[in-house]
């Protein structure tokens, strides 16, 4: 088992291997683990994320597990690292943590069997799949802006090879207090299944990342909070929340909202109406509009033809 890291060393991205409390470069240079400025341990071409996978989260939301995994995508511009800041825009409120295990691909992978899938995994790292739920009402369910905003995919601190994912504890702590406490054994679909499933249609290349899902009790955090995800055998990923220097512009595009869909997702099992009814759908016409409206052809309105 090796702990492989990418850090800034003498101003350049450098691959290091951990040896006790020291990181060692291939040319022999060393630095203390706690002194290092970490980068993401991998450079993916894509970040694919599993929706519901942990049984505890399914039970918390009172929903049914789908017959097969479903996925969404985080752009690589969301990538972040251990020790770095996670940014919540100043006019948003509902930024949630989600502690997870990230699968890292080691070989080009397409149309592999479930039995073969593990051979294509380079290793694993810790992930925090942050979600900006103020944009939950947008993008027709793709969650592009919910999960894809800059800084919302910290990974690290290291890539761990030869890690057995069975029976491993996953915890998320906010300011030292445990919020999430789950296990890889509560996953409906394990790491090999996710790789084999995605690779049926999408070619995975070395460095690509698959986030495997989060346990129950994902909750919102505030600027100033320190969030740590601990995965047994993989280490601890720590980030601090900061308020962005500018709000999300209201000149164009969908605006932050606080509808029942937003609140029910961000609050999880703490939503007051959980178990009583599903959140009401909000009509698009009721959502806030940008200051600059679309230019439509004569005879059309935003809701369709007159």
CATH 2.30.30 domain position(s) in the chain? 1-39
Domain 41-284 CATH superfamily:
Fumarylacetoacetase-like, C-terminal domain (3.90.850.10)
pTM of the model: 0.94
Mean pLDDT confidence for 211-216: 98
1-39 placed in CATH 1.10.10: no
Q: Is the pLDDT of residue 222 over 70?
A: yes
- pLDDT digit string (tens) for 101-117? 999 999 999 999 999 99
Q: Is the pLDDT of residue 299 over 80?
A: no
Query: Sorting pLDDT into bands at 50, 70 and 90, what band is 301?
Result: low
What is the token pair recorded at 84? 């770095």
CA pair distance 11, 8, nearest whole angstrom: 6
Query: Sorting pLDDT into bands at 50, 70 and 90, what band is 294?
Result: confident
Position 286 scores a pLDDT of 81
CATH 3.90.850.10 domain position(s) in the chain? 41-284
Mean pLDDT confidence for 203-230: 98
b/e map of 32-69 (b: 16 or more CB within 10 Å)?
ebeebebbbbbebebbbbbebbbbbbbebbeeeeeeeb
Q: Is the pLDDT of residue 306 over 60?
A: no
Q: Which of 137-146, 149-158, 261-270 is the least confident region?
A: 137-146
Mean pLDDT confidence for 157-173: 98
């Amino acid at each position: 088992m090796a702990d492989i890291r990418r850090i800034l060393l003498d101003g350049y991205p450098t691959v290091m291997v951990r040896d006790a409390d020291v990181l060692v470069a291939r040319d022999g240079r060393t630095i203390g683990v706690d002194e290092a400025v970490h980068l993401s341990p991998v450079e993916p071409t894509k970040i694919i994320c599993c929706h519901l996978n942990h049984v505890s989260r399914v039970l918390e939301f009172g929903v049914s597990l789908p017959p097969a995994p479903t996925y969404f995508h985080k752009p690589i511009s969301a990538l972040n690292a251990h020790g770095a800041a996670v940014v919540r825009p100043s006019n948003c409120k509902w930024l949630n943590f989600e502690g997870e295990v990230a699968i890292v691909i080691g070989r080009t992978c397409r149309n592999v069997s479930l039995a073969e899938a593990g051979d294509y995994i380079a290793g694993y790292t810790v992930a925090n799949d942050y979600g900006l739920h103020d944009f939950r009402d947008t993008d027709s369910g793709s969650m592009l802006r919910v999960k894809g905003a800059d800084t919302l995919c910290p990974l690290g601190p290291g890539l761990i090879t030869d890690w057995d994912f069975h029976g491993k504890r996953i915890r998320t702590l906010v300011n030292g207090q445990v919020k999430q406490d789950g296990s890889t054994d509560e996953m409906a679909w394990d790491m090999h299944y996710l790789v084999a499933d995605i690779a049926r249609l999408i070619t995975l290349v070395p460095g690509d990342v698959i986030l495997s899902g989060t346990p129950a009790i994902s909750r919102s955090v505030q600027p100033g909070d320190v969030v740590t995800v601990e995965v047994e055998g993989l280490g601890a990923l720590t980030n601090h929340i900061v308020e962005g220097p500018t709000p999300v512009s209201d000149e164009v595009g969908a605006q932050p909202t606080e509808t029942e869909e937003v609140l029910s997702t961000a609050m999880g099992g703490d939503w007051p109406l959980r178990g009583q009814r599903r959140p009401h759908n909000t009509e698009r016409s009721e959502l806030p509009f940008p200051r600059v409206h679309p230019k439509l052809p004569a005879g059309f309105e935003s809701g369709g033809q007159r």
